[in-house]
Amino acid sequence: MAADRLMIFDTTLRDGEQSPGCTLNTEEKLELARQLARLGVDVIEAGFAYASPGDFEAVQLVARTVGTVDGPIICSLARAMRDDIRAAAEAIKPAAHSRIHTFISTSDIHLEYQLRKSRAEVLDIAGEMVAYAKSFADDVEFSPMDAGRSDPEYLWSVVERAIAAGATTVNIPDTVGFLTPTEFGAMIRGIKENVSNIDKAIISVHCHDDLGLAVANSLEAVKNGARQIECTINGIGERAGNCSLEEIVMAMHVRRAFFNPLFGRPVDSNEPLCLVDTRQIYKTSRLASNLTGMLVQPNKAIVGANAFAHESGIHQDGVLKNRLTYEIMDAETIGLSENRIVLGKHSGRNAFRTRLRELSYELNDTDLNRAFLRFKELADKKKTVSDWDIEAIIGDEIRLVPEAYRLEQVQVVCGDHAEPTATVRLVDAQGVERTDAAVGTGPVDAVYKAINRIIDLSNELIEFSVQSVTEGIDAMGEVTIRVRHENRTFSGHSANTDIIVASARAYLNALNKLQHALANPTNTSGALAHPEAAAEKV
């Protein structure tokens, strides 16, 4: 029952993808799932199989590719409905270890206004659908949605019925992020004390961050008996997001002496409390941010750019004398190496490939050649190339959607007494070159207008941001954008020492995703083929 350690249930590919503008295509989901497996999470909730053909395909592909014998449990969400459960069961079938996660609301407000069912009806449905899921999979998780606002005694009865029907994990979600840590801990304790068969299931929690309490609530739940936490990379998710995986894992790592006794361990035990490889945290955070277009704010705990930076003179003085004065963890623990200078313009392909492997990147020959060319271009502009530069190149160059258009050349003219003008040359998938020019309010605006003259795809630019990858005047700039097309959002990302070039490539990256989605409407993850499936999610 994993009573001696904490299970990490990652729902980045499901709940995380519900963030506005965060839709991932199937290939991107698979890439992130592979990294989650390297990270060492116990469970990957790969999607909501019934939601769309694209979601079904993504869950099935993750199950087949990542769900190996020594890999994580692959899970699919399903409403407490037979069609949902059958779709989930079929999608996760290729995985060596699989789980069906089914749910139904238990709060009176949801029962009255959303489900329009009585407490007795929901109680029966919970038992019946858990039993139905059990007929497909031995590992079944049940969630009483909006448990945080449910009547405690009724909640206990539903949980008890679900376990009796075969649920091996019961997940208690604070679906709207309403509770405080004291209240949430008391709710978990109440379940432990009042559900007669609770010893037959693992207690899990799924906390939302509407009041900024998701991590605190989850840790309080652990104190009161929860042994699985549902979380996402960078805390992304519906509304204000979910419990942040990196914050939970590092809290358990840094405060191990505090949590050890809760797991029946000696206070001074050095055994990890979960199976996550903390050295993969930073890389996973970067990958998730690049793929989703959801930027990590500089002051984000653990993975933010300022997490290990010190501006105050007093702090700097203390850190120089002893890092422990103002740092409670080593940056290398999360995979953020202090010694990032590794390669230069004289480095060869073998050295580049070796460093990629050290950074846990395994590229095929085509991707390696493309990345190596970008590396040599960058090395000609910079004296040294850091690990961060290399990771930016990989994130920028290894495309996960077909390139309908590729940037061949961009040239701008601008200044305080000049009208910003851009000339852009693109190459389409058939190898045909197309050139056009435009005038804009600034160089980036001019570039985007020139691209729009070539590519006729209606869209609205809703976000544009530039961040420096490394320090120095020759630093690479990362550009992340999001465009909206008919109520759907597509992100684009690119990195270059020239931010105008990066801006053009990021925009093309987003347009290529949009073009791919329009050309493959049934294969695009995130587009709900069953609109009612979006009505309720844990």
| pLDDT tens-place values along the chain, 538 residues long | 456 899 999 999 999 887 766 778 888 899 999 999 999 999 999 999 999 898 999 999 999 999 999 999 999 999 999 999 999 999 999 999 999 999 999 999 999 999 999 999 999 999 999 999 999 999 999 999 999 999 999 999 999 999 999 999 999 999 999 999 999 999 999 999 999 999 999 999 999 999 999 999 999 999 999 999 999 999 999 899 999 999 999 999 999 999 999 999 999 999 999 999 999 999 999 889 888 888 888 899 999 877 776 544 544 455 445 555 656 788 888 887 654 445 777 778 888 888 777 676 778 888 888 888 888 877 777 767 777 677 777 776 665 667 889 999 999 999 988 899 999 999 998 999 999 999 999 999 999 999 999 999 999 998 898 877 666 666 778 888 889 888 788 888 888 888 999 999 999 988 998 888 888 775 544 333 343 444 445 6
Q: Closest by alpha carbon to 266, among 254, 279, 257, 275?
A: 257
Rounded to whole angstroms, the Cα distance separating 504 from 501 reads: 5
- pTM of the complete model: 0.81
Distance (Å) of CA 319 to CA 229, 302, 309, 446: 33, 17, 10, 46
Closest by CA to 493, choosing from 460, 520, 525, 467, is 467
At which residue do the structure tokens 């740092």 appear?
327
Contacts of 216 by beta carbon, 8 Å cutoff, 6+ apart: 181
- Give CA–CA dist 288/391, Å, rounded: 13
Q: How far is CA 210 from the centre of its chain?
A: 18
Q: Which H helix or E strand runs over 367?
A: helix 365-381
**293 to 177, 285, 308, 476, 480: CA distances (angstroms):** 24, 12, 23, 17, 6
Provide the terminal-to-terminal Cα distance of the chain, rounded to the nearest Å.
23
**For position 494, what pLDDT does the model report?**
86
One-character DSSP codes across 337-350? -S--EEE-TT--HH
Instruction: Give the pairing type, strands 477-485 and 460-468.
Output: antiparallel
Phi-psi region of 251 (alpha: psi -120 to 50; beta: other; left: phi over 0): alpha
CB atoms within 10 A of CB 415: 8
The span from the CA of 245 to the CA of 33, in Å, is: 14
**H-type alpha helices, 47-151:** 53-65, 82-92, 108-110, 119-134
The closest of 403, 343, 413 to 376, measured between CA atoms, is 343
Residue 442: what pLDDT? 93
Return the structure tokens found at 119: 């407490």
Q: What angle do CA 154, 155, 159 make, to 5 degrees?
A: 120
Q: Write the CB contacts of 321 (distance below 8 Å, at least 6 apart in sequence).
A: none
Q: Which residues contact 124 (CB under 8 A, 6 or more apart)?
A: none
Residue 402: helix, strand or coil by DSSP?
coil
3-state secondary structure of 17: helix
**Tokens found for residue 30:** 């698979």
**Residues 275-296, buried b or exposed e (16+ Cβ, 10 A)?**
bbebbbbbbbbbbbbbbbbbbb
* H helix intervals, 414-473: 443-454
Q: Is 296 helix (H, G, I), strand (E, B) or coil?
A: coil
**Domains of the chain in sequence order:** 7-300 (3.20.20.70), 313-397 (no CATH), 405-519 (3.30.160.270)
